Structure 1
Amino acid sequence: MLLRELNEARCGQPFEKLGWIYDNEKSLWCLRAWLPHAKKVAVRRIEKKSIECSLKCLNADGLFEAEFPELAAPFSYALKVDYADAKTEVIDPYQFHDEAFRGLAEMKHSADNIYRTLGAQIMETEAGGVKVKGVRFAVYAPSAMSVSLIGDFNYWDGRRHPMQRSLCGHWVLFVPGLEAGARYKFELKDMHGHCLPHKADPVGFYSDQYPSFASVVYDQKQYEWHDADWLLAQRNDKLEQPISIYEMHFASWKRHDDGSSLSYREMADQLIPYLLEMNYTHIELMPIMEHPFSGSWGYQPLGLFAPTSRFGSADDFKYFVDRCHKAGIGVILDWVPAHFPSDAHGLARFDGTPLYEYEDPRRGWHPDWNSYIYDFGRDTVRQFLIASALYWLDHFHIDGLRVDAVASMLYWDYSRDDGEWVPNLDGGNHNYEAISLLQWFNREVYERFPHAMTIAEESTAFSGVSRPTYTGGLGFTFKWNMGWMNDSLRYMAKEPVHRKFHHNDLTFSMVYHYNENFVLSLSHDEVVHGKQSLLYKMPGDEWQQAANLRTYMGYMYAHPGKKLNFMGTEIAQSTEWDHDGQLDWWLLGFDKHRGQKNLIRDLNRLYRSESALYDADYLQSGFEWLDHSNWESSSLLMLRRNKAQDSFIIAACNFTPVPRDGFRIGVPEAGCYQIVLNTDSSEYWGGDYFVGADVFQSEAVESHGKSNSIVLNLPPLATVFIKKVAE
C-alpha cells in the first residue's frame, strides 16, 4: 500500500511513513527513505563525517529502510545516495516535521502572516548542532488527496517530494539545501485521485515566463532599502497635498531599438529624470503583478505576490521604487482583487474545487473579461487578497494602491441581464461580502501603513466610496471621478459653436464634488479601443485641436481634485495607445507636441507651487464659481482658495475660437493682478493672443458679485491663471 502511494504520488501523510518511524511492537526506531531510482543508500549523522550504516533496499523502486535500537535514535542525518550514473548526498526532508509546520498556527491571526508563512520561505534550522539552510514550502489545498513539490531539483517528478497535510488543509515541507532561484510547482491530486494540471504557487514571490510559468524561490531580505526618510515624510494628509499622477504601462512607455522593453533598472535611469522634468508627484503603474498574457495589460494577474519577471528581478523592481523615492516621486500600483484568469497553472479550481472563486457561475464568472471572480465571502480568500495588498506596501514600499474594477465587485448584477445573477439575502444587488472586504482592506492598509493611500476605480454612484468605514463608507482615500471625465470629454468633442447648448457638462461635476474625494482621471481607458487619442477627440483643424486640448488641460488643473493623466497626453500623442509599441516620441520634433509637453510641465509646476490649487480640494471654502452661467460665450470663471484663506488663484476658460476682448473678471480683493499661466502662449504652440498689460490694476467696478474687477483680453480656446501680486 505504501509503495503504491509513493509510486503514484498519492501519499498525503509522508511524515507518518518516511523519516524516523517508531515501531511499538519491536520497541525500536525505523529510518525509512524514499529515493526513486537509487541503487544504494547509506546514512550519516549530520555532525559526523563517518557513515553510520547502510539502508536496506526494500524495493527496486526506491524504498530503503534500517532499524535502530531505541536508545540509538533518532538523530539528525544525511543520506549518501548512489544512482546508476551519479552519487550525491542529501539531507532528508522527512526528519524536519516541526520546521515544515512552523508558523501555521499563528497564520490565521493576521492576514500578513500569509505571505510570511505560505509560499516558499527561505529559512535556517539546526540539526545535530549543525546549521541547515533550506526552503519551507506551504500551500493551501484542503480538498486535495495529495500534493507533491516538483521542480528542477527533483526532475519535476511528483513521486520524490510528497508534502504533508495539516489539519487545516495546508500542505507543507521543508527541503534542506534549496536556495533562492530554485524553480518549483505543485502537483496535486483532487479528492477523487485525479491528477490536476501542475500549479504555480498562489503565494509565489517570483516566477518564470511562458511556457513554464514556474514559481521561483526568492529571498525577501537581500535588498537594502534607502528610503526611510521618504516613508516617514509621507505620513501626511493626502487630501491636502498636491498629487499629480503619471499613469503608465511599463512595457510600452519606451522600448529599445529592437522592440524589447526597458528593464526595471533601465526605467529608473530614463523615466525618473523625465518625471522630474515634468513636475509629476506620483507615478501609477498599470498592474505589474505577474500575469500570463501581456495583452491583458496586467489586468488578468495570477501572481498577486510577484512583480512580473518580464522586466527583471523582484530586487530590480525594489531598486526602481527606491530610486523613485530618492527623487521624491511616489509609486502607486494598480491592484486587481476583482477577478483572475482561467489559466490551468493558476488559481482556477486549484485543488479540484472552486477554492478561490464562487462556485455558481452567476457569481463566479465574469462575462466581460472571461475570468473567474474571487469568492469574497470565503475567509481564506479574503485573507489571501488582504495579504496581497499588505505585501506590496510592506516588501516593496509602495505608496498607494489603486483598486481596479471596484464597481464590478460591489454589484451582483454588474454587466448581467435579468436571470444571470443571484440577489443578496435582502433581494438586492449589492454584494455585501465584497463591500465588507473593501472596508477591511482599507482599515488594514491605514492601520499598518499610515503613509499609504488607496484609490478606487468606481464608476457608479455608490455612496461613501471615499468616506471612513466607521461612517459606513468603503474607506478609500480617493475615488476616480468617472463622471467628470465622461461629461467633460463629451463636451470637448463638440464643435465650439454647439458647446453653449451643453454648458452643464462642464459645471455639473461641482454639484456632487464634495460627496467624495475625487481624482480627475484621464486614464488609458480613454485612448484605446477606437476611442481615439485625446488630441483627436478634439474638433477643428490642426491648430484648433491642439488649442482645445490645451484649454482642456488648463480647465482640469483649475478644477478641484487631484490629477491623473495617462502617458502620452503630455506630448499630445496623436495615435491610440498601443501596448505592443511605445509612445510616439518622434512627435517632439514638432513645435505642436513640444508645446503640449511644455504646457503640462508648467501646469504641474504651477499646481505644486500654489496651495490654492490643491490643499482645499475637498473643502467648500476652497472653490467658488465666479461665473458658471455664461453659456452663450462658453466661458467659465473659477476662484480657488487655499485652506488658510490667505492665497487665491483665478482661472478663466474660453472654450470658443472667438477672442473675448475687454473681458471683465470680478476679483476678491483690490490690487494688482498678473497672468501666471496662459495656455495660448507661443511656448505652448498657442497664438499668443494679446491679453493686455503685464499687470492688471483692479477697478472699483462691481462684477461677478465682487466689488472690484479687472479687464483683459481673453484669448480664444485658452485657459488663463491669474494671481494677485505685490504692487
Structure 2
Amino acid sequence: MTNLPAEAYAIVEGRHSDPFHYLGPHKEADKTVVRAFLPEAVKVDAIDDHGATTALERVHDAGLFVGALANGSTKYQLRARYGDRSIDLEDPYRFPPILTEFDLYLLGEGTHQRLYDKLGAHPMVLEGVSGVGFVVLAPNAKRVSVVGDFNFWDARRHPMRVRGAGYWELFVPGATPGDHYKFDIIGPHGQLTQKSDPMAFAAELRPSTASIVLDETRIPHPRPAPDHINALNRPMSIYEVHLGSWRRKGDNDWLTYRDLAETLPRYARDLGFTHVEFLPVNEHPFDGSWGYQPTGMYAPTSRFGTPAEFAWLIDACHAEGLGVLLDWVPGHFPDDPHGLGNFDGTALYEHANPLQGRHMDWGTLIYNYGRTEVVNFLVSNALFWLERYNVDGLRVDAVASMLYLDYSREAGAWIPNKYGGRENIEAVSFLRRFNTEVFAKFPNATTAAEESTAWPQVSRPVDFGGLGFGYKWNMGWMHDTLNYISKDPIYRKYQHNDILFGLQYAFSENFVLPLSHDEVVHGKKSILGRMPGDDWQRFANLRAYYGFMFGHPGKKLMFMGCEFAQEREWNHDRSLDWHLLEQDKHAGIHSLIRDLNELYRNQPALHELDCDPAGFEWMITDDAGNNVFAWLRKGANPRTQCLVVVNFSPNVYHDYCVRVPFTGTWREVLNSDAAHYGGSNVGNSGEVIAKGLVPELSLTLPPLAALFLVPEF
C-alpha cells in the first residue's frame, strides 16, 4: 500500500474528481489492467467475456483491487466475496459515456430542448446490461458521486465522470426503478453537501428529501383534451383547485390522485367549467407554500400518489372534456439545503449577489436568467409537462417579480440592468423564449401570466415586441371590482369608476378575470365575506357580482369554494365546507354558477369576441345614482348579441329603459334574482318587447341582480 499513487488514495477517500482515469479497464503495454473499488470485499475476481478468471490483488484494505485480464479484453464482470457470500456484479467504470458529443454541444449553448431525456436518472440498457444512467450539472464541483439504495449511500462507491461544461454522469449497473438516490457533492472549497436531483421525475414525501428513480416508459400518456379548447374565440371558464384541500377523507387525509380522478373532473364538468387549473403540483417541502416554493420541478408531488397516478388524473379530466392548466413557478425557489440553492458549492441556479438572487418578501432565491444552463432547465421543464403529461397550458406565477429588478425592494437594494434601468432584460428574454418554444411545439396549448403591472403587450406575439403569453390575468379588474362590491350600495356611486375603468383597457391584452386563491386568504375574507348588508343582501350581492363577471369581456377563473359561497377563508390544511350545500342559500349560488357557465358556453356573444373590442358596447354607464350598468356583448355574427344589465342597488326599478339594436322580443335567459338561486323572483316574466324608432326595452330590474337578455329572430 505504501507504493500506491496519490489518486488511489483519492479513490478510497472518496475525493477523486476523475474516477475513470484510475478505475475500470486501462490498456498498459499489452495488458488490460482492471482496478475496482469494492469496500468490505475480501476477494475480487474479474471474469472476461471468454470466461477466463483473473484474481485481482487487494492493494488497499479499504477495498481497492488491481489485476491484469488474461486475454486483454475490456469486457468483464466482477465476482466479489463478502464473508461467505459471493456476488457477481458489473463494473460501472467499464462502460462508455452516456451523453453524446451532440448532447454536450446543445447543453453548452443552452438549446437542448429535451433536457429531460438526458439529465436526471434514466433506466437504460447499456451494452446489454440493465441499470440506471445518472446525469447532473455541477460545473464548479470538485467531485460528484451518486449515492442511494444501490450503494448503501456510500459516496466512495460511485464517483461520477465530468463531461463538457460540468455535466457529471455515471451508468450504475443493477440500479432499478424505485431506488432512492441523491448527489453527493464536494464544492470548490472542499465543502460537502448532498442534493436532490434537480431533474428527478419522482421524489420522497416531506420531510424526506431523496429523489426516486422512475421508469417513465411505464407512465400512461393521457389522452388529449378537445381540440382548440384554449382558443381566444372559445369559452374558457377555469376552476382553480388546490388538490390537498378540495376535499379530504377519513381523519383529514388527502385524497389521492386516483380519488381525485374519480370525483373532481366530473364535478367540474357538471358545473359547466371548461378547464381545471391546479395550484403547483411540483414536489415541495412546505405544505404552507401551496406548491409555490418547489424543489422538484420535474416531479409531481408524492403527497397524492405516484407520477403514473397523476397522469391518470390528467386523463380523467380530458375524458370529461376539460382542459388542464398547471400553475408553474419559474420565478423563485426555496433555499432548503437539499434543493437548488448553492447547488455545486456556488450560486449555480441563482445569482450570487442577494440584491439580485433573493426575494425579500418570500425569503426565496431568484433564478439567474442570464445563465444559459438555467434557462435551458426552465424551458425544458415547461415542455416536459406539456409533452409527458399532456397538460394543456401553464399559468406562470409572479411574472411581475421576474420583470422588475427592483420588485419589492427599497432604493439602493437592487442592481440596475446594463442600461441603468429597472427592467430585468434576461428575464424578458427568458419569457419570450419560453412562450416561443411552447407555442412552436404545442400550438394548441396556452400560457397565462400572473402580471400585476402595466407592462405592455404581455399577451402579444414576440415578433411584435410582446412577451408572447396566450393570456394575462386581469389583476386590476379583480382589485377594482372587489373594492366596488365590498362597499355598501349607498356608497357605490362614489366608486362608480371602479366598474367603468376596466373597460378602458379590457382589450389591450387577452385577459382572464381571476377570482383566485390569493383573494380568499391572509385576512382578505372569502368572496362572500366581502359582501355588505344582511344575510339576504350578502348572497344577492354575490349573485349579482358573479353575473357581472360572466357578462364581462374576458375569460373566467374561480377558485374552489367560491362556486358555493364558502363562508370562511381558505385553509390549505382542511377540506372545503361542503356541508354548506345543505343550505338553500349556498345551493342557490351553486346552481347559479352552473347556469352562468352553461349560458357563457352556449351564447357565442358571451365568448367569441372576449378579447376583441368589436364584441362589446356600453348601453348605460352614467347611472351612478342607481348603481346600474348595462352593455351589449356581441358574437362574430352581427345578429348574435346579449344584453347584460346589472343592478348593484337593493332597490327594484320598474320601467327602466335600455336602448337595444333590434326591435322585437328579447328573451330573459338568466336572472340572478330567480327564486331558484335564492332571490326574490322579481323579473320580466321571461321576455320583453323592444319598441320604438330607436328600440328600447322597458325592464323591471330586480334588486342586487344581473339580467341577461338575447333577441329572438
Question: What TM bracket, shorter-length normalisation?
Answer: over 0.9
Is 2:129 aligned against 1:143?
Answer: no
Greater shift, 692-701 or 667-676, is seen at 692-701
Query: Aligned to 1:132, which of 109, 117, 129?
Result: 129
Task: Show CA shifts across 1:107-156 (max 9, x none).
Answer: 42633231111000121222xxxx21211100000100000110011110
Q: Determine the structure 2 residue equivalent to 1:698.
A: 690
Compared CA separation, residues 103 and 257, structure 1 to 2 (3 A): farther
Structure 2 equivalent of residue 391 of structure 1? 384
CA positional deviation for 1:85: 5.8
TM-score (norm 2): 0.97
- Of 218-227 and 384-393, the range deviating more from structure 2: 218-227
Name which of 255, 263, 266 aligns with 1:270.
Answer: 263
**Could you tell me which residue of structure 1 aligns to residue 24 of structure 2?**
19
Residue 215 in structure 1 maps to residue 215 in structure 2: no
> Aligned-pair distance for 1:278?
0.3
In the aligned structure 2, how far is the partner of 1:556 from the partner of 1:537? 16
Structure 2: how far apart are the matches of 1:199 and 1:101?
25
1:439-470: CA deviation from partner (whole Å, max 9, x where unpaired): 00000000011111000000000011011111
Question: Letter of the aligned partner of 1:58 in structure 2?
Answer: V
Distance in 1, matches of 2:622 and 2:439, equals 41
1:237 Cα deviation from its structure 2 partner: 6.4
Structure 1 distance, partners of 2:312, 2:480, is: 40
Deviations 1:88-124 (CA, angstroms, capped at 9, x unpaired): 2211111112346686335426332311110001212
Instruction: After TM superposition, list the pairs within 5 Å mapping 1:115-264 onto structure 2.
Output: 115-126=116-127, 131-196=128-193, 198-225=194-221, 227-228=223-224, 230=225, 233-235=226-228, 238-264=231-257
Matches within 5 A, 1:277-676: 277-676=270-669
What secondary structure, in the 3-state scheme, does the structure 1 residue paired with 2:566 have? Answer: coil
2-structure distance, mates of 1:309, 1:107: 32
Preserved contact between residue 622 and residue 641 of structure 1 (Cα < 8 Å):
yes
Q: Summarize the Cα distance change of 1:107–1:135 in structure 2 as closer, same or farther, 3 Å threshold.
A: farther
Runs of 4+ in 1 over 6 A off after TM superposition: none
- What is the RMSD of the two structures over their aligned residues, measured on CA atoms? 1.4
Which of the numbers 25, 29, 32 marks the counterpart of 1:29? Answer: 32
1:18-72: per-residue Cα shift (whole Å, max 9, x none)?
Answer: 110122xx432101111011111122235x6x56222121111111111136xx2
Please say if residues 484 and 499 of structure 2, whose CA atoms lie closer than 8 Å, have aligned partners that are also in contact.
Answer: yes
1:722 match? 709
Task: Check conservation: 1:111, 1:384, Cα contact below 8 A.
Answer: no
Describe the SS at the equivalent of 1:371: coil
1:82 aligns with 2:85: no
Instruction: List per-residue Cα deviations over 1:182-218 (Å, max 9, x = no partner).
Output: 110010001122212x100011111012233100111
Verify the 8 A CA contact 1:291 1:298 in the aligned structure 2: yes
- The AA in structure 2 aligned to 1:429 is R
Q: Tell me, yes or no, if the aligned pair for 2:37 and 2:64 is still in contact at 8 Å.
A: yes
Q: Tell whether the 8 Å contact from 1:142 to 1:351 is kept in structure 2 after alignment.
A: yes
- Give CA deviations for 1:405-449 in whole Å, capped at 9, x if unaligned: 000000011000001001111111100000010000000000011
Question: How many angstroms apart in 1 are the aligned matches of 2:222 and 2:611?
Answer: 34
Residue aligned with 1:387, SS: helix
Letter in 1 for 2:614: S
**Structure 2 counterpart of 1:5, from 7, 10, 14:** 10
Secondary structure of 1:454's counterpart equals strand
Q: 2:298 & 2:52 partners in 1: Cα distance?
A: 43
CA distance in 1, matches of 2:20, 2:263: 53
Larger displacement relative to structure 2 (172-181 or 472-481): 172-181
**8 Å Cα contact 1:15-1:97 kept in structure 2:** no
Give the corresponding residue for 1:104: 103
Any idea what the Cα deviations from partners look like across 1:323-375, whole Å, max 9, x if unmatched? 11111001000000011100000011001100000111101010000011000
Preserved CA contact (<8 Å) 1:443 1:475: yes
**Amino acid aligned to 1:694:** G
Question: What's the secondary structure of 2:253's corresponding residue?
Answer: coil
Contact 1:100/1:137 (CA < 8 Å) preserved in 2?
no
Question: What CA distance in whole angstroms lies between the structure 1 residues aligned with 2:9 and 2:288?
Answer: 44
How much has 1:235 moved relative to structure 2? 4.4
Q: Is the 8 A contact 2:12 2:37 kept in 1?
A: no
For the residues of structure 2 that align with 1:194 and 1:618, how far apart are their CA atoms? 54
**Could you list the per-position Cα deviations for residues 504-526 of structure 1 after superposition, in whole angstroms to 9, with x for gaps in the alignment?**
00010010111111100010000
Tell me, in whole angstroms, the C-alpha distance in 1 between the residues paired with 2:55 and 2:572.
61
Aligned partner of 1:704 in structure 2 is none
3-state secondary structure, aligned to 2:254: coil
Alpha carbons 1:112, 1:391 under 8 Å: kept: no
- Once the two structures are TM-superposed, the CA of residue 674 in structure 1 deviates from its matched residue by 1.2
Q: Structure 1-normalised TM-score?
A: 0.95
Distance 1:366 1:113, change over 3 A: same
Q: Distance in 2 between matches of 1:597 and 1:693?
A: 23
Partners of 2:188 and 2:703 lie apart in 1 by: 72
Q: Aligned partners of 1:85 and 1:148: how far apart in 2?
A: 29
Unaligned runs of 5+ in 2: 1-5
Counterpart amino acid of residue 33 in structure 1 = A
Q: Evaluate the alpha carbon distance shift between residue 210 and residue 696 of structure 1 in structure 2; reply closer, same or farther with a 3 A threshold.
A: closer
In 2, Cα distance between equivalents of 1:251 and 1:380: 33
In structure 2, how many angstroms separate the alpha carbons of the residues matched to 1:374 and 1:124? Answer: 35
Q: C-alpha distance in 2, partners of 1:223/1:102? A: 29
| Cα distance between partner residues in 2 of 1:86 and 1:550 | 75
- Write the letter of the residue equivalent to 1:98: P
The answer to whether the Cα contact below 8 Å between 1:106 and 1:113 also exists between their aligned partners in 2 is no
Shift of 1:3: 3.0
Structure 1 unmatched runs, 5+: 702-706
Q: What's the CA shift for 1:662? A: 1.1
Partner secondary structure for residue 135 of structure 2:
strand
User: Residue 383 and residue 226 in structure 1: after superposition, are their counterparts in 2 closer, same or farther (change >3 A)?
Assistant: closer
1:344 aligned counterpart, secondary structure: coil
Relative to structure 1, the CA distance from residue 155 to residue 102 in structure 2 (aligned partners, 3 Å threshold; closer, same or farther) is farther
The Cα offsets for residues 533-577 of structure 1, whole Å up to 9 and x where unpaired, read as 000100000000000000000000000000000000001000000
Per the TM alignment, residue 224 of structure 1 is displaced from its structure 2 partner at its CA by: 3.1
Query: For 1:85 and 1:372, how far apart are their aligned partners in 2?
Result: 52
- Residue 3 of structure 2: aligned partner: none
